[in-house]
Structure 1
Amino acid sequence: MIERILERFLFGSRWLLAPFYVGLVIALALLLMKAMQELFHFVTHAFSARESDVILGVLTLVDLTLTGSLIVIVIFSGYENFVSKIDAADHKDWPEWMGKIDFTGLKLKLLSSIVAISAIQVLKAFMNVENVSDRNLTWLVIIHLVFVGSGVVLALTDRIAEGGHKAAKPPAARGH
């Protein structure tokens, strides 16, 4: 009986994560405000801007969009993986991937998004290389390479772990 009560308590504690996801929704709204501010600045200065400034403006908007997408991935996948399933039947435009991403897929999507955001930061620095110190540019490239390397290592370890599970299945289960 004590074990059952403890297990119910521990299982119910997953709801403590829900406020974190609400906080991420608020962060997404703040990011939207920043994106609208950047868009306004971009549009009002587009005709007088140099080509490189226009490209930097577009890259900033892409960066903010990827960051927003990353937040959405964390909100929905994290909520569904750790708190509760969302009933998709009531939502006609429910994206196909939602509800199908396991923790491994979530890690890979997160790291892929971080690598893309990092790549945009490096590209922005290269587009504005005359205003970026060699030290800062070097660190941006090093950090980006660390993210890329981490992604490759994470993908390889997940593939190796997945291969171990496939090897444990009988040949008939693998379609032979």
Structure 2
Amino acid sequence: MLERTFERALFACRWLLAPFYAALAIGLVVLLVKLLQELGHFILHAWESNESQTILGVLTLVDLSFTASLLIIVMFSGYENFVSKFDHTDHKDWPEWMGTIDFTGLKLKLMSSIVAISAIQLLKSFMDVKAYSDRELYWLVGIHMVFVVSGILMALTDRIAAGHHDK
């Protein structure tokens, strides 16, 4: 009896994650505000910008889009994996990936998104290379490589673990 009550209470604690996902939704709204600010700045300065500045503006928009997509993946997959399943019967435009990403897939998508965001930041700094010292560029490349190597190691670890479970 005591064990069953404890297990039910522990299982109900998964709902404590729901406010975290709501906070990420608020973060998505903040990113939208930032996107609109950047878009306004990009459009207002379009005529006087050179090619590099235009590319930097576009990369900033891409970077914000990747970050927003990352939030969506974490919110939906995390909620479905740890809190509760969505009822998508009334949604004809329900994305195929929703409901199919397990925790391993979520980790890999998250890491892939972080690597992509890091790559965009690195590309932005290379587009404006004169604004950075050699030391800053080395750090940016080093940090990006840490993300890349971490992603590869995470994928290999998951592959090894999956192969171990198949036996």
Which band: TM-score by shorter chain? over 0.9
Residue 62 of structure 2 aligns with which residue?
Answer: 62
Residue 164 of structure 1 aligns with which residue?
Answer: 164
Q: CA deviation at 1:135?
A: 1.4
Which residue identity lines up with residue 108 of structure 1 in the other structure?
Answer: L
Q: CA deviation at 1:133?
A: 1.5
Confirm or deny that 1:140 pairs with 2:140.
yes
Q: CA deviation at 1:136?
A: 1.2
Larger mean Cα displacement after TM superposition, 74-83 or 131-140:
131-140
SS of residue matched to 1:89: coil
Please give the alpha-carbon distance, in whole angstroms, between the structure 1 residues aligned to 2:55 and 2:82. Answer: 39
Please give the alpha-carbon distance, in whole angstroms, between the structure 1 residues aligned to 2:61 and 2:97. Answer: 24
Please give the alpha-carbon distance, in whole angstroms, between the structure 2 residues aligned to 1:95 and 1:133. Answer: 43
TM-score with structure 1 setting the length: 0.94
Q: CA deviation at 1:134?
A: 1.3
Percent identity between the two aligned chains: 68
Q: CA deviation at 1:140?
A: 0.6
Which residue identity lines up with residue 165 of structure 1 in the other structure?
Answer: H
Within a 5 Å distance, the mapping from 1:24-173 to structure 2 comes to 24-166=24-166, 168=167
**In the TM superposition, what whole-angstrom CA distance separates every residue of 1:53-74 from its partner, at most 9, and x where no partner exists?**
0000000000000000000000
- Unaligned 5+ runs, structure 1: 169-176
Please give the alpha-carbon distance, in whole angstroms, between the structure 2 residues aligned to 1:20 and 1:164. Answer: 33
Which residue identity lines up with residue 129 of structure 1 in the other structure?
Answer: V
Please give the alpha-carbon distance, in whole angstroms, between the structure 1 residues aligned to 2:117 and 2:71. Answer: 12
Indicate the RMSD between aligned Cα atoms, in angstroms: 0.6
Q: CA deviation at 1:11?
A: 0.2
**In the TM superposition, what whole-angstrom CA distance separates every residue of 1:100-157 from its partner, at most 9, and x where no partner exists?**
0000000000000000000000000000001111111111100000000000000001
Which residue identity lines up with residue 113 of structure 2 in the other structure?
Answer: S
Please give the alpha-carbon distance, in whole angstroms, between the structure 1 residues aligned to 2:161 and 2:102. Answer: 14
Which residue identity lines up with residue 3 of structure 1 in the other structure?
Answer: E
Q: Based on CA coordinates, which of the two structures has the bigger radius of gyration?
A: 1
Please give the alpha-carbon distance, in whole angstroms, between the structure 2 residues aligned to 1:3 and 1:90. Answer: 38
- Unaligned 5+ runs, structure 2: none
Which residue identity lines up with residue 118 of structure 1 in the other structure?
Answer: S
Aligned residues: 167
Residue 18 of structure 1 aligns with which residue?
Answer: 18
Residue 2 of structure 1 aligns with which residue?
Answer: 2
TM-score with structure 2 setting the length: 0.99
